[in-house]
Structure 1
Amino acid sequence: MRPLVEAFFDHVTGTVSYVVYDEPKGRAAIIDPVLAYEPKSGRTATAPADCLIRFVQKAELTLDWILETHAHADHLSAAQYIKASLGGKVAIGERIRQVQAVFKGLLNLGRDFRQDGSQFDHLFHEDETFVIGRLQGKAWLVPGHTPADMAYEIGDAIFVGDTLFMPDVGTARCDFPGGDAHMLYHSIQKLLSLPDQTRLFVCHDYPPDGRPASWETTVGEQRQHNIHVGNNKDEAAFVAIRKERDSGLDMPTLIWPSIQVNIRAGELPAAESNGLNYLKIPVNAI
Protein backbone atom coordinates (compact mmCIF):
# COMPACT_ATOMS: atom_id res chain seq x y z
CA MET A 1 0.00 0.00 0.00
CA ARG A 2 0.93 3.64 -0.45
CA PRO A 3 0.62 5.29 2.97
CA LEU A 4 -0.83 8.74 3.42
CA VAL A 5 1.84 11.04 4.86
CA GLU A 6 1.48 14.43 6.53
CA ALA A 7 4.75 16.22 7.36
CA PHE A 8 5.34 18.86 10.03
CA PHE A 9 8.56 20.88 9.87
CA ASP A 10 9.98 22.44 13.02
CA HIS A 11 11.98 25.48 11.90
CA VAL A 12 13.82 25.83 15.21
CA THR A 13 15.46 22.39 15.13
CA GLY A 14 15.14 21.53 11.44
CA THR A 15 13.23 18.39 12.39
CA VAL A 16 10.49 16.80 10.30
CA SER A 17 7.80 14.87 12.18
CA TYR A 18 5.29 12.72 10.35
CA VAL A 19 1.78 11.39 10.69
CA VAL A 20 1.54 8.23 8.59
CA TYR A 21 -1.85 6.59 8.11
CA ASP A 22 -3.60 3.97 6.04
CA GLU A 23 -6.83 5.75 5.07
CA PRO A 24 -9.15 8.57 6.16
CA LYS A 25 -10.49 7.86 9.66
CA GLY A 26 -8.07 4.94 9.81
CA ARG A 27 -5.01 3.92 11.83
CA ALA A 28 -1.89 6.02 12.20
CA ALA A 29 1.66 6.32 13.47
CA ILE A 30 3.55 9.45 14.47
CA ILE A 31 7.28 9.51 13.75
CA ASP A 32 9.81 11.67 15.65
CA PRO A 33 7.55 14.20 17.43
CA VAL A 34 9.13 17.38 18.81
CA LEU A 35 8.75 18.99 22.23
CA ALA A 36 9.99 22.58 22.07
CA TYR A 37 12.68 23.63 24.53
CA GLU A 38 14.11 27.08 25.14
CA PRO A 39 17.63 26.64 26.55
CA LYS A 40 18.00 30.13 28.02
CA SER A 41 14.97 29.78 30.28
CA GLY A 42 14.85 26.00 30.55
CA ARG A 43 11.18 26.01 29.56
CA THR A 44 9.41 23.44 27.41
CA ALA A 45 6.48 24.14 25.09
CA THR A 46 4.11 21.81 23.29
CA ALA A 47 3.29 23.82 20.14
CA PRO A 48 5.01 21.45 17.64
CA ALA A 49 3.35 18.40 19.18
CA ASP A 50 -0.02 20.12 19.38
CA CYS A 51 0.02 20.50 15.59
CA LEU A 52 0.33 16.71 15.27
CA ILE A 53 -2.41 16.10 17.81
CA ARG A 54 -4.81 18.48 16.09
CA PHE A 55 -4.22 16.81 12.75
CA VAL A 56 -4.84 13.32 14.13
CA GLN A 57 -7.99 14.44 15.91
CA LYS A 58 -9.38 16.39 12.95
CA ALA A 59 -8.73 13.46 10.61
CA GLU A 60 -10.41 11.11 13.13
CA LEU A 61 -7.42 8.78 13.16
CA THR A 62 -6.58 6.17 15.78
CA LEU A 63 -2.95 6.31 16.83
CA ASP A 64 -1.25 2.92 17.07
CA TRP A 65 2.43 3.88 17.27
CA ILE A 66 4.76 6.71 18.25
CA LEU A 67 7.97 5.74 16.47
CA GLU A 68 11.39 7.17 17.34
CA THR A 69 14.15 6.65 14.79
CA HIS A 70 16.82 7.15 17.51
CA ALA A 71 17.62 9.10 20.66
CA HIS A 72 17.86 12.52 19.03
CA ALA A 73 20.53 15.02 20.06
CA ASP A 74 18.89 18.12 18.59
CA HIS A 75 15.36 18.11 19.97
CA LEU A 76 13.38 16.73 22.88
CA SER A 77 10.85 14.02 22.10
CA ALA A 78 7.17 14.74 22.66
CA ALA A 79 6.35 11.03 22.73
CA GLN A 80 4.91 10.93 26.23
CA TYR A 81 2.92 14.13 25.76
CA ILE A 82 1.35 12.71 22.59
CA LYS A 83 0.73 9.33 24.19
CA ALA A 84 -1.16 11.03 27.03
CA SER A 85 -3.39 12.77 24.49
CA LEU A 86 -3.84 10.14 21.78
CA GLY A 87 -2.64 6.78 23.11
CA GLY A 88 -0.32 4.61 21.05
CA LYS A 89 2.82 2.64 21.88
CA VAL A 90 6.17 4.43 22.07
CA ALA A 91 8.77 2.39 20.20
CA ILE A 92 12.45 2.57 19.24
CA GLY A 93 15.17 0.11 18.21
CA GLU A 94 16.45 -2.37 20.77
CA ARG A 95 19.98 -0.99 20.57
CA ILE A 96 18.77 2.02 22.54
CA ARG A 97 20.18 0.06 25.47
CA GLN A 98 23.70 0.75 24.18
CA VAL A 99 23.00 4.47 23.98
CA GLN A 100 21.46 4.44 27.45
CA ALA A 101 24.55 2.72 28.85
CA VAL A 102 26.91 5.30 27.32
CA PHE A 103 24.97 8.31 28.56
CA LYS A 104 24.22 6.79 31.93
CA GLY A 105 27.97 6.88 32.46
CA LEU A 106 28.53 10.34 30.98
CA LEU A 107 25.66 11.82 32.98
CA ASN A 108 26.29 9.81 36.15
CA LEU A 109 22.61 8.89 36.30
CA GLY A 110 22.91 6.44 39.17
CA ARG A 111 21.21 3.16 40.00
CA ASP A 112 17.67 4.42 39.50
CA PHE A 113 18.16 4.89 35.76
CA ARG A 114 17.41 1.66 33.91
CA GLN A 115 19.51 0.94 30.82
CA ASP A 116 17.29 -1.91 29.62
CA GLY A 117 15.01 0.11 27.34
CA SER A 118 12.02 -0.46 29.60
CA GLN A 119 11.06 3.22 29.42
CA PHE A 120 9.69 2.41 25.95
CA ASP A 121 6.58 0.37 25.25
CA HIS A 122 8.26 -1.62 22.50
CA LEU A 123 11.82 -2.24 21.29
CA PHE A 124 12.14 -3.25 17.65
CA HIS A 125 14.70 -5.80 16.55
CA GLU A 126 16.17 -5.67 13.07
CA ASP A 127 13.69 -6.57 10.31
CA GLU A 128 10.80 -6.88 12.76
CA THR A 129 7.43 -6.33 11.10
CA PHE A 130 4.45 -4.41 12.47
CA VAL A 131 1.14 -3.07 11.23
CA ILE A 132 -0.60 0.29 11.13
CA GLY A 133 -4.15 -0.66 10.23
CA ARG A 134 -3.93 -1.92 6.65
CA LEU A 135 -0.31 -0.87 6.28
CA GLN A 136 2.61 -3.26 6.68
CA GLY A 137 5.72 -1.91 8.35
CA LYS A 138 9.27 -3.15 8.87
CA ALA A 139 11.99 -1.84 11.19
CA TRP A 140 15.42 -1.42 9.60
CA LEU A 141 18.63 -1.15 11.63
CA VAL A 142 20.70 1.67 10.08
CA PRO A 143 23.58 2.44 12.48
CA GLY A 144 26.26 5.03 11.90
CA HIS A 145 24.90 8.33 13.16
CA THR A 146 24.45 6.43 16.43
CA PRO A 147 24.71 2.66 16.99
CA ALA A 148 20.96 2.44 17.49
CA ASP A 149 19.43 4.28 14.53
CA MET A 150 16.34 2.80 12.89
CA ALA A 151 14.51 3.48 9.65
CA TYR A 152 10.89 2.46 9.19
CA GLU A 153 9.59 0.97 5.97
CA ILE A 154 5.83 1.60 5.77
CA GLY A 155 4.12 0.54 2.59
CA ASP A 156 6.07 1.96 -0.35
CA ALA A 157 7.89 4.58 1.76
CA ILE A 158 10.88 4.55 4.10
CA PHE A 159 11.37 7.04 6.92
CA VAL A 160 15.14 7.13 7.02
CA GLY A 161 15.84 8.93 10.31
CA ASP A 162 19.33 10.41 10.55
CA THR A 163 21.02 8.62 7.64
CA LEU A 164 20.35 10.51 4.42
CA PHE A 165 19.28 14.14 4.19
CA MET A 166 18.03 15.84 1.05
CA PRO A 167 20.53 15.34 -1.79
CA ASP A 168 21.91 18.89 -1.61
CA VAL A 169 22.55 18.55 2.14
CA GLY A 170 24.11 15.07 2.20
CA THR A 171 24.18 12.72 5.17
CA ALA A 172 24.07 12.65 8.97
CA ARG A 173 27.06 13.32 11.19
CA CYS A 174 28.91 10.41 12.80
CA ASP A 175 30.89 12.03 15.62
CA PHE A 176 28.54 11.36 18.54
CA PRO A 177 29.49 8.62 21.04
CA GLY A 178 29.16 5.30 19.22
CA GLY A 179 28.86 6.92 15.79
CA ASP A 180 30.83 5.46 12.89
CA ALA A 181 31.12 6.71 9.30
CA HIS A 182 31.91 3.23 7.96
CA MET A 183 28.70 1.87 9.49
CA LEU A 184 26.69 4.79 8.12
CA TYR A 185 28.04 4.15 4.63
CA HIS A 186 26.84 0.54 4.74
CA SER A 187 23.47 1.57 6.20
CA ILE A 188 23.01 4.04 3.36
CA GLN A 189 23.93 1.41 0.79
CA LYS A 190 21.12 -0.77 2.15
CA LEU A 191 18.69 2.05 1.50
CA LEU A 192 20.12 2.82 -1.94
CA SER A 193 19.81 -0.82 -3.02
CA LEU A 194 16.04 -0.34 -3.27
CA PRO A 195 14.25 0.50 -6.53
CA ASP A 196 14.78 4.04 -7.82
CA GLN A 197 11.16 5.06 -7.27
CA THR A 198 11.14 4.17 -3.55
CA ARG A 199 10.03 7.20 -1.56
CA LEU A 200 12.36 8.35 1.21
CA PHE A 201 11.31 10.74 3.96
CA VAL A 202 14.12 12.45 5.87
CA CYS A 203 14.19 13.39 9.55
CA HIS A 204 15.87 16.79 9.11
CA ASP A 205 16.38 19.45 6.53
CA TYR A 206 18.89 22.28 6.67
CA PRO A 207 18.14 23.93 3.32
CA PRO A 208 20.75 26.00 1.53
CA ASP A 209 19.85 29.67 1.07
CA GLY A 210 17.04 30.13 -1.38
CA ARG A 211 15.52 26.65 -1.08
CA PRO A 212 12.42 26.04 1.04
CA ALA A 213 12.48 23.18 3.50
CA SER A 214 11.92 19.78 1.87
CA TRP A 215 11.68 16.25 3.16
CA GLU A 216 10.59 13.81 0.44
CA THR A 217 13.06 12.35 -2.04
CA THR A 218 13.62 9.04 -3.82
CA VAL A 219 16.31 6.39 -3.98
CA GLY A 220 17.03 7.40 -7.57
CA GLU A 221 17.52 11.05 -6.67
CA GLN A 222 19.84 10.13 -3.81
CA ARG A 223 21.92 7.79 -5.97
CA GLN A 224 22.48 10.46 -8.58
CA HIS A 225 22.65 13.71 -6.63
CA ASN A 226 23.51 13.21 -2.94
CA ILE A 227 26.59 15.35 -2.36
CA HIS A 228 28.19 12.82 0.01
CA VAL A 229 27.27 9.41 -1.44
CA GLY A 230 25.87 10.04 -4.91
CA ASN A 231 27.50 8.98 -8.19
CA ASN A 232 28.72 5.72 -6.67
CA LYS A 233 31.18 7.23 -4.20
CA ASP A 234 33.07 4.42 -2.52
CA GLU A 235 33.40 3.85 1.21
CA ALA A 236 36.83 5.45 1.57
CA ALA A 237 35.71 8.63 -0.20
CA PHE A 238 32.57 8.87 1.89
CA VAL A 239 34.40 8.33 5.19
CA ALA A 240 36.93 11.01 4.26
CA ILE A 241 34.16 13.48 3.41
CA ARG A 242 32.25 12.69 6.58
CA LYS A 243 35.26 12.92 8.89
CA GLU A 244 36.38 16.23 7.43
CA ARG A 245 32.91 17.70 7.74
CA ASP A 246 32.31 16.36 11.27
CA SER A 247 35.59 17.84 12.49
CA GLY A 248 34.24 21.33 11.87
CA LEU A 249 30.74 20.91 13.29
CA ASP A 250 29.66 22.35 16.62
CA MET A 251 27.75 20.14 19.02
CA PRO A 252 23.98 20.63 18.73
CA THR A 253 22.66 23.35 21.04
CA LEU A 254 20.25 20.94 22.73
CA ILE A 255 22.39 17.81 22.90
CA TRP A 256 22.39 17.48 26.71
CA PRO A 257 18.72 18.34 27.35
CA SER A 258 17.65 16.21 24.39
CA ILE A 259 19.61 13.09 25.26
CA GLN A 260 18.48 13.08 28.89
CA VAL A 261 14.83 13.20 27.85
CA ASN A 262 15.05 10.97 24.80
CA ILE A 263 16.78 8.02 26.48
CA ARG A 264 13.80 8.15 28.86
CA ALA A 265 11.31 7.82 25.96
CA GLY A 266 10.30 11.48 26.22
CA GLU A 267 10.00 11.73 30.00
CA LEU A 268 11.73 14.46 31.96
CA PRO A 269 13.99 13.30 34.79
CA ALA A 270 12.02 12.69 37.96
CA ALA A 271 11.19 15.77 40.02
CA GLU A 272 13.44 16.36 43.01
CA SER A 273 12.36 17.11 46.58
CA ASN A 274 11.34 20.69 45.71
CA GLY A 275 9.04 19.48 42.93
CA LEU A 276 11.25 20.71 40.08
CA ASN A 277 12.81 18.70 37.25
CA TYR A 278 16.51 19.19 36.52
CA LEU A 279 18.70 18.50 33.51
CA LYS A 280 22.45 17.94 33.88
CA ILE A 281 25.18 19.53 31.80
CA PRO A 282 28.49 17.66 32.16
CA VAL A 283 31.55 19.89 31.74
CA ASN A 284 34.27 18.89 29.24
CA ALA A 285 32.63 15.49 28.70
CA ILE A 286 32.64 15.44 24.90
Structure 2
Amino acid sequence: MIFSPKQNQDRFLTKEGEFGIIKTKIKSVQAMGRFYMGHFYPKLAFYRIWQAIRWRLGQRVAAPELEFGDEESFAEFYDSRVTDCAFLSDPYHYEYPRAKWILDRVHGGKLLEVGCGNGGMTRLLAPKVDQIVALDVSGPSLRELEKLGLQNVKIVKGLVEHYEPECLFEWIVLSEVIEHVRQPAQIIRRCFNLLAPGGTLLITTPHGHWESDEHLHEFDLVTFSRLLTLPEAETVKFGYLRDRDNRRRWLVGELTASVSPAAPLPDRRQIAKERKQRLH
Protein backbone atom coordinates (compact mmCIF):
# COMPACT_ATOMS: atom_id res chain seq x y z
CA MET A 1 0.00 0.00 0.00
CA ILE A 2 1.35 3.47 -0.97
CA PHE A 3 0.68 6.45 1.28
CA SER A 4 0.86 10.11 0.34
CA PRO A 5 3.24 12.38 2.30
CA LYS A 6 0.28 13.71 4.27
CA GLN A 7 -0.93 10.18 5.07
CA ASN A 8 2.57 9.17 6.10
CA GLN A 9 2.71 12.13 8.45
CA ASP A 10 -0.54 11.12 10.12
CA ARG A 11 0.18 7.41 10.43
CA PHE A 12 0.64 6.06 13.94
CA LEU A 13 3.67 3.98 12.89
CA THR A 14 6.21 5.24 10.36
CA LYS A 15 9.22 3.69 8.68
CA GLU A 16 11.44 5.90 10.82
CA GLY A 17 10.31 3.85 13.84
CA GLU A 18 10.14 5.35 17.30
CA PHE A 19 11.76 8.65 16.25
CA GLY A 20 9.20 9.02 13.50
CA ILE A 21 6.40 8.58 16.01
CA ILE A 22 7.79 11.34 18.18
CA LYS A 23 8.24 13.78 15.28
CA THR A 24 4.90 13.18 13.61
CA LYS A 25 2.88 13.11 16.81
CA ILE A 26 4.40 16.06 18.65
CA LYS A 27 1.32 18.21 18.02
CA SER A 28 -1.02 15.66 19.58
CA VAL A 29 1.34 15.33 22.53
CA GLN A 30 1.27 19.09 23.03
CA ALA A 31 -2.52 19.02 22.90
CA MET A 32 -2.57 16.31 25.56
CA GLY A 33 -0.31 18.45 27.70
CA ARG A 34 -2.68 21.43 27.45
CA PHE A 35 -5.64 19.20 28.35
CA TYR A 36 -3.96 17.71 31.38
CA MET A 37 -2.64 21.09 32.50
CA GLY A 38 -6.21 22.31 32.84
CA HIS A 39 -7.86 19.20 34.21
CA PHE A 40 -5.34 17.48 36.48
CA TYR A 41 -2.41 18.37 38.69
CA PRO A 42 -0.55 21.30 37.08
CA LYS A 43 2.74 20.21 38.68
CA LEU A 44 2.38 16.87 36.86
CA ALA A 45 1.77 18.38 33.42
CA PHE A 46 5.32 17.75 32.22
CA TYR A 47 5.09 14.12 33.27
CA ARG A 48 1.76 13.78 31.49
CA ILE A 49 3.46 14.84 28.26
CA TRP A 50 6.30 12.40 28.84
CA GLN A 51 3.77 9.64 29.50
CA ALA A 52 1.92 10.49 26.29
CA ILE A 53 5.14 9.94 24.35
CA ARG A 54 5.76 6.63 26.10
CA TRP A 55 2.18 5.55 25.44
CA ARG A 56 2.67 6.26 21.73
CA LEU A 57 5.77 4.06 21.82
CA GLY A 58 3.76 1.19 23.26
CA GLN A 59 5.37 1.39 26.69
CA ARG A 60 3.63 0.79 30.00
CA VAL A 61 2.06 3.94 31.46
CA ALA A 62 0.44 4.40 34.86
CA ALA A 63 -1.38 7.34 36.38
CA PRO A 64 1.16 10.14 36.94
CA GLU A 65 -0.11 10.64 40.49
CA LEU A 66 1.36 7.19 41.18
CA GLU A 67 4.49 7.46 39.05
CA PHE A 68 5.58 10.97 39.95
CA GLY A 69 3.26 12.43 42.60
CA ASP A 70 3.86 12.88 46.31
CA GLU A 71 2.07 11.02 49.10
CA GLU A 72 -0.78 13.53 49.04
CA SER A 73 -1.53 13.03 45.35
CA PHE A 74 -1.10 9.26 45.83
CA ALA A 75 -3.78 9.28 48.55
CA GLU A 76 -6.09 11.55 46.54
CA PHE A 77 -5.85 9.18 43.58
CA TYR A 78 -7.03 6.20 45.61
CA ASP A 79 -9.64 8.27 47.44
CA SER A 80 -11.34 8.60 44.07
CA ARG A 81 -11.25 4.83 43.37
CA VAL A 82 -13.24 2.56 45.65
CA THR A 83 -13.46 -0.91 44.15
CA ASP A 84 -15.98 -3.39 45.51
CA CYS A 85 -14.01 -6.62 45.98
CA ALA A 86 -16.92 -8.73 47.23
CA PHE A 87 -16.34 -10.94 44.17
CA LEU A 88 -13.43 -12.57 46.01
CA SER A 89 -15.93 -14.77 47.85
CA ASP A 90 -17.55 -15.98 44.61
CA PRO A 91 -16.15 -19.43 43.66
CA TYR A 92 -17.14 -18.79 40.03
CA HIS A 93 -15.24 -15.51 39.72
CA TYR A 94 -11.87 -15.68 37.96
CA GLU A 95 -10.18 -13.94 40.96
CA TYR A 96 -11.39 -16.52 43.48
CA PRO A 97 -8.26 -18.75 43.28
CA ARG A 98 -6.21 -15.84 44.59
CA ALA A 99 -8.40 -15.47 47.67
CA LYS A 100 -8.47 -19.23 48.22
CA TRP A 101 -4.67 -19.47 48.04
CA ILE A 102 -4.38 -17.00 50.91
CA LEU A 103 -7.24 -18.41 52.98
CA ASP A 104 -5.85 -21.95 52.76
CA ARG A 105 -2.66 -20.80 54.49
CA VAL A 106 -3.90 -18.45 57.20
CA HIS A 107 -5.00 -19.75 60.60
CA GLY A 108 -5.04 -18.06 64.01
CA GLY A 109 -2.82 -15.33 65.40
CA LYS A 110 -2.52 -11.67 64.44
CA LEU A 111 -2.62 -10.60 60.80
CA LEU A 112 -1.67 -7.40 59.00
CA GLU A 113 -3.38 -6.81 55.66
CA VAL A 114 -1.56 -4.19 53.60
CA GLY A 115 -3.72 -2.48 50.99
CA CYS A 116 -7.00 -3.83 52.34
CA GLY A 117 -9.19 -1.53 50.22
CA ASN A 118 -12.85 -1.72 51.17
CA GLY A 119 -12.48 -5.11 52.84
CA GLY A 120 -13.15 -7.63 50.09
CA MET A 121 -10.39 -9.87 51.45
CA THR A 122 -10.64 -8.66 55.04
CA ARG A 123 -14.14 -10.05 55.52
CA LEU A 124 -12.89 -13.48 54.44
CA LEU A 125 -9.80 -13.36 56.65
CA ALA A 126 -11.57 -12.18 59.82
CA PRO A 127 -13.06 -15.59 60.78
CA LYS A 128 -9.69 -17.27 60.23
CA VAL A 129 -7.54 -15.25 62.67
CA ASP A 130 -7.68 -13.72 66.13
CA GLN A 131 -7.02 -10.12 65.13
CA ILE A 132 -6.54 -8.13 61.91
CA VAL A 133 -4.96 -4.76 61.33
CA ALA A 134 -6.38 -3.51 58.01
CA LEU A 135 -4.10 -0.88 56.48
CA ASP A 136 -4.87 1.31 53.48
CA VAL A 137 -4.27 4.83 52.21
CA SER A 138 -7.82 5.38 50.90
CA GLY A 139 -10.19 7.00 53.38
CA PRO A 140 -13.41 6.21 51.44
CA SER A 141 -12.40 2.55 51.11
CA LEU A 142 -11.73 2.28 54.83
CA ARG A 143 -15.11 3.83 55.61
CA GLU A 144 -16.74 1.11 53.52
CA LEU A 145 -14.76 -1.49 55.46
CA GLU A 146 -15.86 0.05 58.76
CA LYS A 147 -19.51 -0.43 57.76
CA LEU A 148 -18.97 -4.21 57.78
CA GLY A 149 -18.68 -4.09 61.59
CA LEU A 150 -15.98 -6.76 61.85
CA GLN A 151 -15.25 -7.05 65.57
CA ASN A 152 -11.68 -8.31 65.35
CA VAL A 153 -10.53 -5.80 62.73
CA LYS A 154 -8.61 -2.63 63.58
CA ILE A 155 -8.61 -0.09 60.74
CA VAL A 156 -5.53 2.06 60.15
CA LYS A 157 -5.17 4.75 57.46
CA GLY A 158 -1.71 5.25 56.03
CA LEU A 159 1.20 3.74 54.16
CA VAL A 160 3.04 0.69 55.44
CA GLU A 161 6.31 2.62 55.09
CA HIS A 162 5.22 4.85 57.98
CA TYR A 163 3.17 2.37 59.98
CA GLU A 164 4.50 1.67 63.48
CA PRO A 165 2.65 -1.37 64.86
CA GLU A 166 2.02 -2.10 68.51
CA CYS A 167 3.02 -5.73 67.96
CA LEU A 168 4.52 -8.10 65.41
CA PHE A 169 2.33 -10.32 63.25
CA GLU A 170 2.08 -14.04 62.63
CA TRP A 171 0.68 -13.29 59.17
CA ILE A 172 1.08 -10.42 56.73
CA VAL A 173 -0.94 -10.37 53.51
CA LEU A 174 0.41 -8.29 50.63
CA SER A 175 -2.07 -9.16 47.91
CA GLU A 176 -2.14 -7.22 44.63
CA VAL A 177 -0.05 -4.40 46.09
CA ILE A 178 3.56 -4.53 44.89
CA GLU A 179 2.60 -3.71 41.29
CA HIS A 180 1.11 -0.42 42.56
CA VAL A 181 4.14 0.92 44.46
CA ARG A 182 7.34 2.54 43.24
CA GLN A 183 9.72 0.47 45.37
CA PRO A 184 8.27 -3.05 45.69
CA ALA A 185 11.49 -4.50 47.12
CA GLN A 186 11.44 -1.97 49.96
CA ILE A 187 7.79 -2.71 50.71
CA ILE A 188 8.44 -6.45 50.87
CA ARG A 189 11.39 -5.95 53.21
CA ARG A 190 9.39 -3.57 55.38
CA CYS A 191 6.57 -6.11 55.70
CA PHE A 192 8.98 -8.95 56.41
CA ASN A 193 10.49 -6.94 59.26
CA LEU A 194 7.03 -6.73 60.88
CA LEU A 195 6.72 -10.52 61.14
CA ALA A 196 6.84 -12.27 64.50
CA PRO A 197 9.35 -15.14 64.81
CA GLY A 198 8.04 -17.96 62.63
CA GLY A 199 5.57 -15.60 60.93
CA THR A 200 4.67 -15.77 57.25
CA LEU A 201 4.42 -13.09 54.57
CA LEU A 202 2.00 -13.98 51.74
CA ILE A 203 2.34 -12.09 48.45
CA THR A 204 0.32 -12.17 45.24
CA THR A 205 0.77 -10.04 42.13
CA PRO A 206 -0.45 -10.21 38.52
CA HIS A 207 1.66 -12.27 36.14
CA GLY A 208 2.72 -10.22 33.13
CA HIS A 209 0.71 -7.39 31.63
CA TRP A 210 -2.68 -6.35 32.98
CA GLU A 211 -4.19 -3.26 31.39
CA SER A 212 -4.40 -0.87 34.34
CA ASP A 213 -3.26 2.70 34.93
CA GLU A 214 -2.62 1.73 38.56
CA HIS A 215 0.20 -0.71 37.76
CA LEU A 216 3.71 0.68 37.94
CA HIS A 217 5.38 -2.70 37.47
CA GLU A 218 4.92 -5.96 35.60
CA PHE A 219 6.54 -9.16 36.86
CA ASP A 220 7.49 -12.53 35.47
CA LEU A 221 8.65 -15.43 37.61
CA VAL A 222 12.32 -14.40 37.40
CA THR A 223 11.85 -10.75 38.40
CA PHE A 224 9.36 -11.73 41.09
CA SER A 225 11.70 -14.32 42.61
CA ARG A 226 14.46 -11.72 42.89
CA LEU A 227 12.24 -9.57 45.08
CA LEU A 228 11.68 -12.47 47.48
CA THR A 229 15.27 -13.54 48.06
CA LEU A 230 15.77 -11.96 51.47
CA PRO A 231 18.74 -13.48 53.33
CA GLU A 232 16.86 -13.06 56.62
CA ALA A 233 14.05 -15.38 55.50
CA GLU A 234 14.11 -18.97 56.76
CA THR A 235 12.15 -20.28 53.79
CA VAL A 236 11.20 -18.72 50.46
CA LYS A 237 8.58 -20.23 48.15
CA PHE A 238 7.26 -18.82 44.89
CA GLY A 239 5.43 -19.96 41.80
CA TYR A 240 2.44 -19.50 39.53
CA LEU A 241 -1.21 -19.50 40.50
CA ARG A 242 -3.75 -20.39 37.81
CA ASP A 243 -7.17 -18.89 37.34
CA ARG A 244 -10.38 -20.79 36.59
CA ASP A 245 -9.44 -20.87 32.88
CA ASN A 246 -6.12 -22.58 33.66
CA ARG A 247 -4.04 -19.50 32.85
CA ARG A 248 -1.02 -18.57 34.94
CA ARG A 249 -2.77 -15.44 36.09
CA TRP A 250 -0.78 -14.65 39.25
CA LEU A 251 2.62 -14.98 40.83
CA VAL A 252 2.54 -16.00 44.48
CA GLY A 253 5.21 -15.95 47.15
CA GLU A 254 5.55 -17.13 50.73
CA LEU A 255 8.34 -15.95 53.05
CA THR A 256 8.78 -17.36 56.55
CA ALA A 257 10.70 -15.64 59.33
CA SER A 258 13.14 -17.57 61.50
CA VAL A 259 11.97 -18.77 64.89
CA SER A 260 15.42 -18.07 66.36
CA PRO A 261 18.65 -16.51 65.04
CA ALA A 262 20.81 -18.86 63.02
CA ALA A 263 24.25 -19.83 64.30
CA PRO A 264 27.11 -18.40 62.22
CA LEU A 265 28.72 -20.54 59.56
CA PRO A 266 32.28 -21.78 60.18
CA ASP A 267 34.97 -19.17 59.55
CA ARG A 268 37.61 -20.66 57.26
CA ARG A 269 40.29 -18.23 58.42
CA GLN A 270 39.60 -18.95 62.07
CA ILE A 271 39.81 -22.70 61.42
CA ALA A 272 43.16 -22.26 59.65
CA LYS A 273 44.44 -20.14 62.52
CA GLU A 274 43.47 -22.77 65.10
CA ARG A 275 45.16 -25.49 63.05
CA LYS A 276 48.33 -23.46 62.89
CA GLN A 277 48.30 -22.92 66.65
CA ARG A 278 47.90 -26.65 67.27
CA LEU A 279 50.92 -27.41 65.09
CA HIS A 280 53.06 -25.19 67.27
CA radius of gyration, larger in:
2
Q: Which has the higher strand share?
A: 1
TM-score, length-normalised on structure 1? Answer: 0.30
Higher relative contact order (CA 8 A, sep 6+): 1
